[in-house]
């Protein structure tokens, strides 16, 4: 029997339909669409999001995963310019210097309607691969009210994400009280969390050596919980076992700056390691063939 479908197709046709492969911001943790990262004040949400932005902008790795390189728009509405620049000066030690050109920072929006502004930004800049909004409150959508109002307001952002096929990550605050589940931790109506594709929480840990616990779940993300540490030498959230040694950090910094040759004092400043240790460390790297000394006391990565 032949049926007539209006805006529909059979399950068989659906199964044979060509669909673009699934993409991730962080494989296994944050996927396409719109996600919320929630945490209590001063836990390190903004630092986490800036780590993620720099990792994508440089095409580096983050939390043990390789990140596809792309242009990132970071809407920084909470921290001031001095704080952001100070963090960038430290974080850039861990990433390729090209990241600075691929990360576009917006410290304010224009006009009364922030959704229209966001739509215009993505329409004018098709090269963006990720947008981060820090924070939901500063973007004007904190007090969303009822379920319907909350859902519709958040869904409007998700529609922009779908329209331009660009993931949007929003930084938000968690309740003061503990929740029974990831969804319960977020302040406000469940309409806010119901409209998003992914939920990520960053919470404190009392476990020695663990600075935070990241819990992620979503429509296409299996619930995952991982322990994190902060590498304070470069202000990067890392897997608990991933924290870089001074030697590993120096190699990574020299490799990221290759073929630039710098003095011991300059390498010391870039890595945030004292001069005496830097001198001994680079001496050992030269002996092992990892680094090479060039004219007038300048050193660079040997590769």
**Quick one: CA torsion of 203, 206, 211, 216, rounded to 10 degrees?**
-30
* Assigned architecture for domain 246-301: Orthogonal Bundle (1.10)
Cβ pair 257, 97 in contact under 8 A: yes
pLDDT digits (tens, 9 = 90+) for 119-145: 999 999 999 999 999 988 888 765 556
- Can you give the pLDDT at residue 190? 73
CA-CA distance, 142 to 151, in Å (whole number)?
A: 12
| Mean pLDDT score, 23-35 | 88
pLDDT higher than 70, residue 113:
yes
Q: Is the dihedral of CA 7, 12, 15, 16 positive or negative?
A: negative
Q: Is the dihedral of CA 105, 152, 31, 203 positive or negative?
A: positive
What Å distances lie between residue 93 and 184, 232, 270, CA to CA? 37, 11, 6
What Å distances lie between residue 85 and 73, 82, 156, 268, CA to CA? 16, 5, 31, 19
pLDDT higher than 90, residue 303:
no
First to last CA, the chain: 68
Is 0.85 surpassed by the pTM of this model? no
Cβ pair 75, 136 in contact under 8 A: no
Average pLDDT, the chain: 86
CA-CA distance, 42 to 211, in Å (whole number)?
A: 12
pLDDT higher than 90, residue 273:
no
**259 confidence band (pLDDT: 50, 70, 90):** confident
**157 confidence band (pLDDT: 50, 70, 90):** very high
**Could you tell me the fold of the domain covering 22-239?**
Rossmann fold (3.40.50)
* Domain locations in the chain as residue ranges: 22-239, 246-301
């Amino acid at each position: 029997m032949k049926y007539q479908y209006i805006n529909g197709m059979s399950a068989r046709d659906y199964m044979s339909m060509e669909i673009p492969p699934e993409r991730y911001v962080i494989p296994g943790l944050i996927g396409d669409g719109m996600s919320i990262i929630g945490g209590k004040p001063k836990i390190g949400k903004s630092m986490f999001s800036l780590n993620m932005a720099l990792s994508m902008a440089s095409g580096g790795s983050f939390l043990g995963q390789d990140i596809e390189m792309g242009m990132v728009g970071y809407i920084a509405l909470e921290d001031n310019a001095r704080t952001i620049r100070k963090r960038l000066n430290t974080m850039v030690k861990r990433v390729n210097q090209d990241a600075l050109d691929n990360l576009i920072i917006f410290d304010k929006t224009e006009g009364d309607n922030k959704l229209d502004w966001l739509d215009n930004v993505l329409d004018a800049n098709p090269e963006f691969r990720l947008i981060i909004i820090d924070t939901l409150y500063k973007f004007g959508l904190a007090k969303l009210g009822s379920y319907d109002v909350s859902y519709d307001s958040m869904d409007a952002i998700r529609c922009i994400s779908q329209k331009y096929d660009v993931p949007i990550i929003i930084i938000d605050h968690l309740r003061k009280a503990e929740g029974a589940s990831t969804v319960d931790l977020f302040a406000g109506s469940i309409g806010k969390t119901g409209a998003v594709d992914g939920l990520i929480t960053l919470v404190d840990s009392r476990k020695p050596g663990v600075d935070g616990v990241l819990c992620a779940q979503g429509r296409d993300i299996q619930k995952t919980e991982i322990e994190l540490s902060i590498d304070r030498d470069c202000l990067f959230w890392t897997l608990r076992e991933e924290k870089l040694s001074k030697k590993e950090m120096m190699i990574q910094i020299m490799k990221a700056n290759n073929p630039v040759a710098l003095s011991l004092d300059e390498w010391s400043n870039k890595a945030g390691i004292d001069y005496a240790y830097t001198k001994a460390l680079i001496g050992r790297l030269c002996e092992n063939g990892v680094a090479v000394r060039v004219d007038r006391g300048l050193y660079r990565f040997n590769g």
